[in-house]
Amino acid sequence: MAADALSPRLFGRQRMQLIETLQERGISDLAVLRAFDLIPRHLFVPEAVRHRAYEDAPLPIGFGQTASQPSLQALYMQVLSLQDQDKVLEVGTGSGFQTAVLAQLVAHVYSVERIPELSARARTLLDELRISNVALLVGDGTIGWSRYAPYDAILVAAGAPIVPDTLVEQLAPGGRLLIPVGDRQQQQLTLIRRTEQGTEREEVVGCTFVPLIGRFGWSS
């Protein structure tokens, strides 16, 4: 990676505008805002749309996938009330941008991606940014990653027809799962909390994500 690609002056004004937009859209967690400021989103999107990297909009990243809207990603992290000692599972590595932001907020990130090329691209970028508290796996995210369970928080970056029990079972006591649930066109961002009595469920906001493909999601 060229050294100037990481220069704080590159896209500096646009990055500041994005932070202001996040605040206008209700993001008040200072740790989340700082993490978004630290990670250069322009490195995680294709060159053809790099000029749009700091717009609050989803962007195509190839293979029929998109990088989610930054304000929605920030909302995920704010709703989950992430702590610096948390262990987090991310379902849908995608471009790796959200993965990199999460790595600034928590102790360990475990991220599953079904498309090998996206996972490999994300690994390269994370290594170039010297982010070392992230482990990546190519596989079916609806199954989770039981080897490192239980998790304090699980983020699912794709729309599911149901909440997979496999993911709920990988939550630690007090753990939180945030997942879009609905049909292929429209979902409700849904928060699941694991309690001593079982689980609590709360709908946060309407949203639209690419389908969650896998054994406990949609068929391809």
Instruction: Name the residues annotated as catalytic.
Output: 68
Q: What 8-state DSSP symbol labels residue 66?
A: E
Q: Which residue has the tokens 């609050």?
A: 56
Paired sense of beta strands 108-113 and 87-91, if any? parallel
**Residue 125: C-alpha distances to residues 72, 95, 121, 157, 173 (Å):** 22, 9, 6, 19, 33
Angle at 96 between CA 90 and CA 99, to 5 degrees: 40
- Identify the CA nearest to 11 among candidates 39, 48, 30: 39
Angle at 30 between CA 27 and CA 32, to 5 degrees: 70
Alpha carbon distance 152, 175 (integer Å): 4
Paired sense of beta strands 171-182 and 151-156, if any? parallel
